[in-house]
């Protein structure tokens, strides 16, 4: 009787990870269906290889990548990290806005304070001019940075998040 109970426990212990792994694979397949097909990706595998290509339609337990003249298959369990290639518009816009606001606002503050002829220092006028210049040049910087970023391609890690 003890042997039968131990055998049942062993069978359950061995079956539990397989069921959990199947659930993880199913979740990964559903998630990748919305992110991957047709996009250029780069995968770092758990065995230390880097695989790059375009995602083919997602299968239940593996990811197929089509490359130059070959097709590679990576099981979901072998994916260490997944990167998607995309345009850098968002990063460029953010950097451009920050640089434009800092440079434009700073220059306007210095110029406004330097041209002030009042004895009280023109603090209110200087702040208004500086904030207006920062907003205007920040917007211009965001537009220019977004345009430059749109011309560049960057890798963004999407797994693990």
pLDDT of residue 143: 93
Task: Report H helices in the chain.
Answer: 2-35, 89-115, 123-150
pLDDT of residue 27: 65
pTM over 0.75: no
What is the mean predicted confidence (pLDDT) over 156-160?
A: 80
User: Does 66 score more than 70 pLDDT?
Assistant: yes
List pLDDT tens digits, range 102-150: 998 888 888 888 887 877 777 788 888 888 889 999 999 999 999 998 8
For the chain, the average pLDDT equals 78
User: Does 18 score more than 70 pLDDT?
Assistant: no
In degrees, to the nearest 5, what angle opens at C-alpha 77 toward C-alphas 158 and 75? 90
Phi and psi at 55, nearest 5°, equal -70, 130
pLDDT of residue 6: 46
Phi and psi at 53, nearest 5°, equal 170, -170
88 HSE (CA, 13 A, CB side): 13
User: Does 13 score more than 80 pLDDT?
Assistant: no
């Amino acid at each position: 009787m003890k042997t039968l109970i131990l055998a049942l426990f062993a069978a359950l212990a061995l079956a539990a990870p397989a069921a959990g792994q199947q659930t993880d694979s199913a979740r990964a397949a559903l998630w990748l269906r919305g992110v991957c097909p047709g996009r250029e990706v780069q995968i770092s595998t758990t065995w230390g290889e880097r695989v790059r290509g375009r995602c083919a339609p997602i299968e239940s337990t593996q990811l197929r990548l089509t490359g130059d003249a070959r097709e590679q298959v990576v099981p979901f369990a072998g994916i260490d990290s997944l990167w998607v290639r995309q345009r850098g518009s968002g990063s460029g816009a953010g950097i451009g806005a920050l640089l434009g606001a800092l440079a434009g606002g700073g220059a306007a503050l210095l110029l406004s304070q330097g041209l002030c002829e009042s004895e009280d220092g023109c603090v209110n006028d200087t702040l208004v001019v500086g904030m207006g210049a920062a907003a205007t040049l920040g917007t211009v910087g965001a537009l220019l940075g977004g345009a430059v970023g749109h011309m560049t391609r960057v890798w963004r890690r999407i797994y693990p998040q």
